[in-house]
Amino acid sequence: DIQMTQSPSSLAASVGDRVAITCRASQSISNYLNWYQQKPGKAPNLLIYAASSLKSGVPSRFSGSGSGTDFTLTISSLQPEDFATYYCQQTYSPPRTFGQGTKVEIK
């Protein structure tokens, strides 16, 4: 199985801050890396697919980068609605594993 490791597990930030979350795969997954946002009681919402492609309708302050084993999700200017948990996921091969999540909290 491909292991996905996110860091940090949690972070506290203020509105307007630039935030970066990293995700490392245990082997190369090319660009088959996705990022999701999940709010309490809701299903995850796809933000980024193919490492850097922004899903239609997702604000442009979200961006993704990386390939191979190292990836980053960046929020350029954190907004109040962005406080949530973020997950990376590889869809290179089954089982389609997720990272453990990064909780973004208000400082």
Partner 1 sequence: QVQLQQWGAGLVKPSETLSLTCAVYGGSFTGYSWNWIRQPPGKGLEWIGEIDHSGSATYNPSLKSRLTISLDSSRSQVSLNLSSVTAADTAVYYCARAYVVAVPIIRLWGFDPWGQGTLVTVSS
Q: How far is the CB of 16 from partner 1 (least distance, A)?
A: 28
Site string for partner 1, 31-70 (x = CB under 8 A): -x-x-x-----xxxxx-xxx----x---------------
**Residues in region 85-104 near partner 1 by CB under 8 A:** 87, 89, 91-101
Instruction: Check: CB of residue 44 under 8 Å from CB of residue 35.
Output: no
What beta strand segments (E) does 1-107 contain?
Answer: 4-7, 10-13, 19-25, 33-38, 45-49, 53-54, 62-67, 70-75, 85-90, 102-106
Nearest CB to partner 1, comparing residues 19 and 51 = 51
Number of residues engaging partner 1 in binding (CB under 8 A): 26
